[in-house]
Chain A
Amino acid sequence: MIELVLADRCTDCDTCVQVCPTNVFDAQPGGPPVIARQEDCQTCFLCELYCQSDALYVAPNCDEPVAVDAEAIVASGLLGQFRRDSGWHEWAGQSPNLHWRMGELFARGRKPVAAPTP
């Protein structure tokens, strides 16, 4: 679930308020949005994808809130990973969309089915 809005990175653009499909954030006059309805978060990471300042952190646990260490997360370099891998915004062209190869995962992963015993 969404755990962090990093005030020092946030530019107050309110994009996350607009794009979060479950209306988790509330915009605040003259400040970063607040996480107002964390329990509605569907852990889809899409707010991170749209936040060009990498100011949001979604913890992977979708069942309950977890304690997070903001400093450690900033230091880890994990912020912005989704945008980088998706090739969005300034990463355009640097990480081509290879989704068309999804079928290969299914095809190469399938275990050979054992021949039926007579």
Chain B
Amino acid sequence: MTLTLETDVLVIGGGLAGCWAAIAAAEAGAEVILADKGYCGTSGVTATAGPNHWWVPPDPEKRAQAVRERNARALGLADPRWMARIIDTTWRTLPTLAAYYEHSITAGGVPHYQSLRGPEYLRALRRYAEARGVRILDHSPALELLLHADGSAAGARGVRRQEGPPAGRDWTVRAAGVIVATGGCAFLAKLLGSRNNTGDGHLMAAEAGARLSGMEFSTYHTVAERHSTQTRSASYAFADYFDAAGREIDTGGDPDVTLPLARALLAGPVYATLARMPVDLRAILPQIQPAILLPFQRQGIDPFTQRFTITLQGEGTVRGTGGLRLADEDCQTDVPGLYAAGDAATRELIAGAISGGGAQNSAWAVSSGTWAGQAVARLAHDRGRRAETPVEAAGGAGLRPRGTPATADLSRLLTDGVRAEMLPYDKILFRRGPVLARSLATLDGLWRDARDHLAPGADATARVRAREAAALVACARWSTATALARPETRGLHRREDVATTDPALAHRLSSGGLDEVWVAADITVPAITAPAAAPATQVA
């Protein structure tokens, strides 16, 4: 029997952004349900890693300088006011976790709030959310949104995959507003912690009429030991790289080693050693990042004295910047009542055309989640839940095929097809117009298959996979179409056939559409009307 619930605020996704959204909404007095595809506490890319947040004390000059410096690197696509906002909100919000996370006390007796270890951080957020009365539905992926007759968000529907018959137990939640916090889309690369990040939220929102932005910035890569998921770049600051002949690969002294390594990997195997890491750091590495040495130890490799093979794992939009387009300062999408937070939203406003990984993305997840949570709590208060009115389900591909349902494992064919277009380095890191056009034609074909023949499978896993496959195809199309529509090189988006940056293209590109994908120039920045915050009272 379907689990039918009603609440003020529904949060889809229980990673960093979803947890902060749920906590903010609950703090504002709202009743909150949070549904995660996996387990809130281990799910999402933060739970397996350990993020550093953008952290600048409330000294006006320091903050202005931080924004100036970062904005200068954003290649014209960020907005200084949005950057200043996340610095401020992160500074005020992050320390509220103190009751649930054992912060290290650093020199001068000051708790270190800025960077937290992933498993402990997400465990703390779960406890914090539960303590504020948030109802968490684990292993309960959302499959589609519900819409009011006026087109605004009314809730969502999904499946509890550990309950009921083989097909799982359906759930339906009606709410005053919905927050999509489903993370970025990693195109099923072996990026640490990203298996669930298949762009489901992007698809669900687009089916409801939302637009996307910055989907061309989906090319970030991270080095890892070959066959391993440990995409943690900190230790690789000490790496030296070699080709099969033992010649050192010149990485140009640039901390971003992606392009030289990708070129070398296209030519043959690449080896690395961490021999330059000083012994004092080697000794404490397991206490900084306890998982990073596990793959080495389990294979009998000493990364400090031996050379080992490496790879680059793609990240899609995770540490790229593209995602759902935001229409206002509360992170509302182009669909009324539907909000986007964290990596599911575009991060161009705070990171521009380069990666927001390393500081901005986490600060964005905390801040966008907080704003969206507060906004939907207000919406529930002002307008009520509207839970009695009839609603329509917005989902298409993978739920309601227009033609004959496929008998073969179409989900697998589609995901393999997407991976073949979105993961090879020569297609993604060294983009060319004609190759992008061919990819897009292939992906359009996959979409038609998905739309016409992709049916929900018989068991819960197959039902979820069908929707994941549809979402992956949709995200791949927006990403490829936007890359084609930007005939220049700008930040993460690199066109081998147009190596220059075109000043006439110093604006964002929005995209959308399902049957027909479109791309359009977007010169608007959502206005910020909220009064400037009072000086933070938080400790320095």
**Contact surface of A with B, Cβ cutoff 8 Å:** 17-23, 37, 40-46, 49-50, 58-63, 78, 81-82, 85-87, 95-106, 108-114
Contact = CB atoms under 8 A, between A and B. Distances in A.
Interface string B289-317: 11100111111000000000000000000
B93 interface: no
A44 B229 contact: yes
Given A17-B162, A19-B42, A43 B237 contact: no
Given A43-B228, A100-B115, A105 B234 contact: yes
A23 B138 CA distance: 10
Given A78-B298, A100-B106, A105-B235, A21 B196 contact: yes
B281 interface: yes
B287 A63 contact: no
B193 A44 contact: yes
A21 B115 contact: no
Contacts of A102: 50, 52, 115, 234, 288-289
Interface string B236-259: 111100000000000001110000
Chain A interface helix/strand/loop/mixed: loop
A22 B254 CA distance: 36
A46 B288 contact: no
A63 B227 contact: yes
Contacts of B255: 106, 110
Given A78-B297, A85-B287, 15 more contacts: A21-B37, A21-B43, A37-B461, A44-B291, A45-B294, A46-B42, A59-B298, A60-B228, A81-B294, A86-B117, A97-B102, A97-B120, A103-B52, A105-B237, A108-B238
Contacts of B233: 106
Contact of B287 (A97, A103, A112, A113): A97
A97 B117 contact: yes
Given A21-B42, A105-B235, A82 B291 contact: yes
Contacts of B44: 21
Most buried by A among B52, B161, B227: B227
B194 interface: yes
A2 to B, nearest CB: 12
Contact of A20 (B39, B228, B297): B39
A81 B297 contact: yes
B190 A43 contact: yes
Contact of B229 (A37, A42, A98): A42
B214 interface: no
B162 A23 contact: yes
A23 B139 contact: yes
Contacts, number: 157
B102 to A, nearest CB: 7
Most buried by A among B47, B255, B288: B288
B192 interface: yes
Contact of A105 (B42, B114, B196, B281): B281
A43 B224 CA distance: 13
A63 B225 CA distance: 12
Contact of A98 (B192, B195, B287, B461): B287
13 contacts: A18-B138, A19-B42, A22-B38, A23-B162, A43-B228, A44-B192, A44-B291, A59-B298, A78-B297, A86-B117, A86-B120, A99-B287, A99-B289
Interface of B: 37-39, 41-44, 47-48, 50, 52, 102, 104, 106, 112, 114-117, 119-120, 138-139, 161-162, 190, 192-196, 225, 227-229, 233-239, 253-255, 276-278, 281, 284, 286-291, 294-299, 461
B290 A100 contact: no
B288 A99 contact: yes
A99 B104 contact: yes
- 6 A-B pairs with least C-beta separation: A109-B237, A21-B38, A60-B295, A42-B195, A105-B234, A85-B290
Nearest to B228: A60
Given A96-B287, A109-B276, A109-B277, A23 B161 contact: yes
A82 B48 CA distance: 12
A108 B39 contact: no
Nearest to B116: A99
A106 B234 CA distance: 5
A74 B411 CA distance: 38
Most buried by A among B277, B291, B295: B291
A112 B42 CA distance: 37
B288 A98 contact: yes
Nearest to A113: B253
A20 B238 contact: no
Most buried by B among A59, A101, A103, A109: A109
A95 B238 contact: no
Contacts of B291: 44-45, 82
Most buried by B among A43, A45, A99: A99
A96 to B, nearest CB: 6
Contacts of A18: 39, 138
B394 to A, nearest CB: 25
Most buried by B among A17, A45, A102: A102
A78 to B, nearest CB: 6
